[in-house]
Chains A and B, each alone.
Chain A
Amino acid sequence: MKYVDEYRDPAAARATVAQIEALAGDRHLKFMEVCGGHTHTIYKHGIENVLPDSVELVHGPGCPVCVIPMGRVDDAIAVAKAPGVIFTSFGDMMRVPGGKENLLEAKAQGADVRMVYSPLDALRIAEANHDREVVFFAVGFETTAPSTAVTLIKAKQRGITNFSVYCNHVTIVPPLKAILESPDLRLDGFLGPGHVSTVIGNRPYRFVPRDYGKPLVTAGFEPLDILQSIVMLLRQIREGRCEVENQYTRAVVDEGNPRALKILGEVFELRPHFEWRGLGFISQSALKLNADYADFDAELRFNVPGVRVADPKACQCGEVLKGVIKPWECKVFGTACTPETPIGTCMVSSEGACAAYYNYGRFTKAATIPVRAAEPEPVTSG
């Protein structure tokens, strides 16, 4: 099994694949990996290709760069071009296409757009440039939102008035609900996100088994973690159980990080609704600065156009983000849309399903399937 040999612990990986083969029945099962980090691992290590045909992985909406709609990017660019602004952003957002251009192109035309590693770097820029307005483009799920919150608390404590946040933080539970409610997709279980869960814990996922009858296993990021999580899902199904389980106990505890959750509550409130690329408007699915921090809200400080821009017709990121189609089933995948000239967000971010498949998947898919078929099954104690 060629690709399994490249795993950190090939013997364990082989044994786990054998367990999966033993547990998987004839019924076709579809599991969604929610997190973009998982999608990356799955394609990079050819995990789909070592699974039995009856176990299918579909990719979910857990790439925070991918779910930002074009209109929000256009708003970011409008703020970046406002006089006197230094616009700061994580590197991942720089090439995400807006309706006309991306942030890198806006920078090339003279906007002062700077890439930062941390929101605290954006705050330092504000402290070093009193005569300028410094705006931080905040994106990310609950993993990233506490960092923005801490930065805002510091800005307020220090009385920094030339700093604001263009807030695009999103939350993971509402899109999961939207996917479970969607008639497009029949799923049999979820691989829950790893790093988001270090913050929110495992409890917020309890509605998945309770209300929708689907098991969820919070999973780590290594290939072996993914394989073991699939075993845990299959065991639940085999044993007639349906619950939230935690494979990633090395980093995730049930209660999450209470300190981070408290800080989120101090700074943010839920937006009534927020548009997700491909998923449309989802109620209470994103964060905005609350009344105590309204002075730091870039949407109130600047004139943002707030125009809704439809995704390009050819682009099927929406279907990819909902797991309805695989990246290679999109009409423009790998032809008009590549990581060099992306049309959709899923091709921009390294965590996007299309970029991950473009970079790794298309090479491993053909190569590994025959290898698996030819490999004698290893013995496992199960």
Chain B
Amino acid sequence: MCLGIPGQLVEIVDPAEHRGIADVDGVRREVNIGLVMGEAGGIKVGDWILIHVGFAMSRIDEEEAQRTLEFLKLMGDVYDDEIKQFSQDAPL
């Protein structure tokens, strides 16, 4: 739960509602980008973000995103669980 997972913002669906789509290692889901819209220069498609419980928490550079992802993959189960939860739809 506490894990921040890096992803790339691939689409801004609704800027007013802060809805974006992030791609984490090929898995896509909607994320809330409201908390990073105050970053210098705003937030745009192609930016890399640290995602926590479905929210972009900070903008990071691509190199940091890649090395964090690489590191998280080394964590094995913890990463697999996080990706599994990230890819799941809300149990409506």
Contacts and interface: CB of A to CB of B under 8 A. Distances in A.
Given A120-B54, A251-B4, 17 more contacts: A36-B2, A64-B1, A91-B1, A91-B81, A117-B88, A119-B53, A119-B54, A140-B1, A143-B4, A147-B53, A195-B57, A198-B4, A222-B67, A250-B60, A250-B61, A257-B36, A260-B57
Given A8-B71, A40-B78, A119-B53, A251 B58 contact: yes
Interface string B38-63: 10000000000010111101101100
Contacts, number: 123
Nearest to A116: B90
Interface in A92-121: 92, 114-121
11 contacts: A8-B74, A117-B85, A117-B86, A119-B53, A121-B91, A143-B52, A147-B55, A198-B50, A222-B68, A257-B36, A258-B38
Contacts of A150: 18, 32, 34-35, 55
A314 B53 CA distance: 34
- In the A-B complex, the 5 residue pairs with the smallest Cβ-Cβ separation, listed nearest first, are A118-B54, A121-B90, A259-B38, A117-B85, A128-B92
B32 A140 contact: no
Contacts of A65: 1
Contacts of A257: 35-36, 38, 57-58
Interface residues of B, number: 36
A125 interface: yes
B39 to A, nearest CB: 9
Please indicate which of the listed interface residues A117, A121, A141 has the most CB atoms of chain B within 10 Å of its own CB. Answer: A117
